[in-house]
């Protein structure tokens, strides 16, 4: 009668933490950067914080969608590698690269619509100006319109 070796009860959690902790730390870095950004904006003017909040949410909707779509490149690459079809890695990777270039151009193009978009929201002039500036910066367009 043989018995199977048993792992300690918390071994599964240790494995999960070993892989998840670096991802948690990298995402925490982004949160810390956003907090610091908002803190400096609050020192500058309250309108800047209001503008960064609205413009940040709108820009992250587009950026998050595009990053989510292009992020599937890694999923396809892992599937092709795991299924023993490495010849499909190249086309999947190139498709992800092409999509990221197109989506980057779309994000840049969205910045040209920032002024009409944020003007229609009906916020005050100072908040609208801050929204337009923040959206343009987050859309990779450094000069303001």
Domain with 15 in it: 9-44
Residue 36 lies in a domain: yes
Helix crossing, 46-82 with 89-110: angle to 10°? Answer: 170
Residue 1 lies in a domain: no
The pLDDT tens digits for 2-12 are 566 665 666 67
Structure tokens at 114: 């920032």
Residue 3 lies in a domain: no
Structure tokens at 2: 């043989």
Q: What is the mean pLDDT of the chain?
A: 84
Instruction: State the Cα–Cα distance between residues 24 and 87, nearest whole angstrom.
Output: 33
Question: What predicted TM-score, i.e. pTM, was given to this entire model?
Answer: 0.67
More confident residue, 44 or 4: 44
Q: What is the mean pLDDT of residues 27-50?
A: 86
Instruction: State the Cα–Cα distance between residues 102 and 105, nearest whole angstrom.
Output: 5
Q: What is the mean pLDDT of residues 50-57?
A: 88
- Lowest-pLDDT choice from 13-17, 51-55, 117-121: 13-17
Exposure of 43 in the CB half-sphere (CA atoms within 13 A): 5
Give yes or no for residue 145 having a pLDDT over 70.
Answer: no
Do residues 40 and 55 share a domain? no
Q: What is the mean pLDDT of residues 23-30?
A: 83
Instruction: State the Cα–Cα distance between residues 34 and 40, nearest whole angstrom.
Output: 10
Do residues 56 and 123 share a domain? yes
Residue 132 near residue 118, CB atoms below 8 Å: yes
The pLDDT tens digits for 96-141 are 999 999 988 888 888 888 899 999 998 999 999 999 988 988 877 6
In this structure, the number of other CB atoms found within 10 A of the CB of residue 4 comes to: 5
Do residues 53 and 39 share a domain? no
Do residues 24 and 67 share a domain? no
Per-residue pLDDT band at 1 (split at 50, 70, 90)? low
């Amino acid at each position: 009668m043989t018995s199977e070796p048993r792992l300690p009860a918390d071994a599964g959690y240790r494995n999960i933490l070993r892989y998840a902790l670096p991802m948690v730390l990298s995402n925490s870095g982004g949160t810390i950067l956003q907090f610091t950004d908002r803190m400096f904006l609050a020192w500058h003017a309250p309108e800047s914080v209001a503008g960064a909040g609205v413009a940040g949410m709108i820009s992250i909707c587009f950026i998050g969608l595009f990053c989510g779509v292009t992020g599937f490149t890694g999923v396809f690459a892992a599937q092709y590698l795991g299924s023993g079809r490495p010849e499909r890695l190249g086309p999947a990777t190139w498709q992800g690269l092409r999509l990221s270039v197109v989506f980057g151009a779309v994000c840049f193009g969205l910045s040209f619509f920032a002024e009409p978009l944020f003007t229609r929201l009906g916020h005050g002039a100072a908040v609208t100006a801050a929204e337009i500036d923040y959206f343009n910066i987050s859309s990779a367009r450094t000069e303001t319109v």
